[in-house]
Chain A
Amino acid sequence: MALTPTLLLAAAERTLNGLLARDPAAPSRLARLAGQRLLLRLEHPELALAIHFHGGGLDLLRPDDPAEEAYDAVVEVDAETLGALLGGASMERLMFQGRLAVRGRIPLLEATRDLLLDLDLDWEGELARWLGDIPAHSLAEGLRRLGRFGLRTREEFCADLSEYLVEEARLLPGRPQLEVLRDHLTELEVASDRLEARLARLHRRLADRVTP
């Protein structure tokens, strides 16, 4: 039998537990969830996935006999909706749209999503375990500077590109020109509406004269 799905699930579980272990806020969230079980039924592809929470993280299993009574909450969802849910879409909206079905304790699904989405990893702490406090702080500070430099460079590049396209090469209109154009178009739209109304009135008058 192919062990691939088991391998993938084991890898996913290991990754998630590794990430949770690096979030200083995760233990308190996990403590509230410990002992609870969530059954996730995916429609396309068809897959039942049991999530068991415990103090150190979560277990992911493919239940052999997914009887619903053994779970605190059962979620039925398709892959697209699951993506939207994990992307931060409103649970209530998805439920009202009929894309998400939840039976049992609805707050458990909400808490699970928050646990995964609100991960705040303490990378510097993890680096310090391997490199020591001072090298880890220096490295983390360097990475943060690099990140800030990257952001600033991106902003400057966007500003320079915009200036070149609008002011120097004059390939694109600037915002003030766009505003003037929009005003002119609005005036033209109002004038044509008026003209249309006048024509309609003239048509009605002509029709009245012709009719005895």
Chain B
Amino acid sequence: MSANPSSRDKQTTDFGYQEVPLEEKASRVADVFHSVAARYDVMNDLMSFGIHRLWKRLTIERAGVRPGHSVLDIAGGTGDLTLKFSRLVGPRGRVVLADINESMLRVGRDKLLDHGVGGNVEYVQANAECLPFPDNTFDCITIAFGLRNVTDKDAALRSMARVLKPGGRLLVLEFSKPGNPLLTKAYDEYSFRLLPRIGQVVASDADSYRYLAESIRMHPDQETLKGMMEAAGLERVEYTNMTGGIVALHRGIKL
């Protein structure tokens, strides 16, 4: 979550439910992802019962990517979106898979190479808050399940808006707030009781999955994120709730 003014004064930000020094969050998030990288895909399938594939599929459909486009997949992790985008943009286009975490990037690169993806994909280790690309570079930018791990989300959204071409789309796929109280209760039980246990059994790492649940609760809700995207300079921002609002897909256009 973005460091708010008060937490900025104290130079702290959230790391799940903990307050940590601002400069410490990135390294602690990095530790989490170094720890889970090897079993990231398996855990995603287990935790979401495979539904994350449908959420990502809808993101790809909404991206409107065409042959020849340039696409930036931030926090691309193990490359699920990049794999599809590389086919859609074709040999004339390019896809940049960016992730701040070296382990995730390595797992993603290996997986894509195993799928025969090569020529039009580049791999960049980059911080979403200060993307190392010129202004107006990409036709489409996606960040799937990555924004909540960024220390300064407003800076990241501004950075994405900067490198987006006029007319380009930014899509943010992220956990959000369910609308139904019953679903919220069931979701809380699942996240805080079951998820760390699954993490312990499958990845031998309960803490990382506890952080996952906490970071989801600390992430801004649908309307707040929409306002943040608009503040970053994006227009026609809209969002689509999926699975009862557990996940939301926000889309904004740079005009």
Cα distance, A62 to B63, chains bound together (Å): 11
Residue from A9, A35, A59, A65 in contact with B84 in the complex, judged by beta carbons closer than 8 Å: A59
Name B64's contact: one of A1, A35, A63 (CB within 8 Å). A63
What's the Cα separation between A61 and B64 when bound, in Å?
10
Answer whether A59 and B87 are a contact pair too, CB < 8 Å, given A1-B240, A6-B57, A10-B57.
Answer: yes
> Counting CB contacts under 8 A, is B91 at the interface?
yes
Within 8 A of A (CB), among B196-255: 240-243
Interface flags for A49-82 (1: CB within 8 Å of B; 0: not) read: 0001011100101111101001000000000000
A118–B51 Cα distance when bound, in Å, is: 33
Number of interface residues of A (CB under 8 A): 20
Interface residue? B66 (CB, 8 A): yes
A-side contacts of B62, CB under 8 Å: 64
Nearest-neighbour CB distance to chain A for B204, whole angstroms, equals 31
Contact indicator A35/B90 (Cβ below 8 Å):
yes
Least CB separation from B242: chain A residue? A1
Is A180 in contact with chain B by the CB < 8 A criterion? no
What residues of A have a CB within 8 angstroms of the CB of B61 in the complex? Answer: 6, 61-64
Measured between alpha carbons, how far is A61 from B61 in the docked complex, in Å?
Answer: 6
If A3-B54, A6-B54, A6-B58 touch, whether A64 touches B64 (CB-CB below 8 Å) is yes
A134 contacts chain B at the CB level, 8 A cutoff: no
Q: How many A-B pairs fall under 8 Å by CB?
A: 46
Min CB–CB distance A153 → chain B (angstroms): 43
Query: Is the pair B54, A52 in contact by a Cβ cutoff of 8 Å?
Result: no
Name the CB-closest residue of B to A9: B57
Instruction: Confirm or deny: B67 has a beta carbon within 8 angstroms of a beta carbon on chain A.
Output: yes
Q: Within 8 Å of chain A (Cβ to Cβ): is B88?
A: yes
Q: Which residues of B contact A67 (CB under 8 A)?
A: 66
Please give, as numbers and ranges, the residues of chain B lying within 8 Å of A70 by CB-CB distance: 66-67
Q: A1-B241, A3-B51, A64-B61 are in contact. List 5 more A-B contacts (CB 8 A).
A: A1-B240, A6-B54, A52-B88, A55-B116, A61-B57
Sampled A-B contacts (26; CB under 8 Å): A1-B58, A1-B240, A1-B241, A1-B242, A3-B51, A3-B54, A3-B55, A3-B58, A3-B242, A6-B58, A6-B61, A9-B57, A10-B54, A35-B67, A35-B90, A35-B91, A54-B87, A56-B116, A59-B87, A61-B57, A63-B61, A63-B64, A64-B62, A64-B63, A70-B66, A70-B67
